[in-house]
Structure 1
């Protein structure tokens, strides 16, 4: 079964350009992962500093591989001071059958 989630965070005022650069660079790397099926980056239309990232992985093993990718920790370390939250807020999703 696919592993699907929504990651949310808000860029600090003035950090919008740097956050956009970081997340787009990170997205390119994640999309190359063998088990990644989607990594779509959005901003909320009514609040362009609010980011929503829709992620889908082939299965739990693919998601775990994503979590241990060598570029993940450096990305999160660089992102942390640029966002309002302590870290991305993750919401795991299940399909409606």
Structure 2
């Protein structure tokens, strides 16, 4: 079964460009993962500092492999001081019947 989630965070005032650059580089790496099916980055139209990342992985194993990737920890460490939240807010999604 596919693993699907939405990650959300808000760039601090003045940090939008740095966050956008950071997430752009990270997205390129994640999209190269064998088990990644989607890693789409969005900003909210009414508030471009609000980032939403829609992620889909082949299955739970592919998601766990993603979590163990060495560049993930580096990305999260670099992102933390640039966003309003303590970390990305994750919402896990299931397909509707």
Q: Distance in 1 between matches of 2:7 and 2:74?
A: 17
The answer to whether structure 1 residue 43 and structure 2 residue 43 are counterparts is yes
The CA deviation at 1:43 is 0.1
Q: Deviations over 1:13-61 (max 9, x none)?
A: 0001100000000000000000000000000000100000000000000
Q: Please, which runs of 5 or more residues in structure 2 have no aligned partner?
A: none
Consecutive aligned runs of 4 or more in structure 1 exceeding 6 Å deviation:
none
Task: Give TM-score, length-normalised by structure 1.
Answer: 0.99
How far apart, in 2, do the equivalents of 1:71 and 1:23 lie? Answer: 12
Match status 1:27 vs 2:40: no
> SS at 1:14's partner residue?
coil
- Give the count of matched residue pairs: 97
Gaps of 5+ in 1: none
Specify the alignment match of 2:18 in structure 1: 18
TM-score (norm 2): 0.99
Question: What RMSD over aligned residues (CA atoms) do the two structures have, in Å?
Answer: 0.3
The answer on 1:95 being equivalent to 2:95 is yes
Aligned to 1:82: 82
**CA deviation profile, 1:42-85 (whole Å, cap 9, x unmatched):** 00000100000000000000000000001000000000000000
Q: Which residue of 1 aligns with 2:8?
A: 8
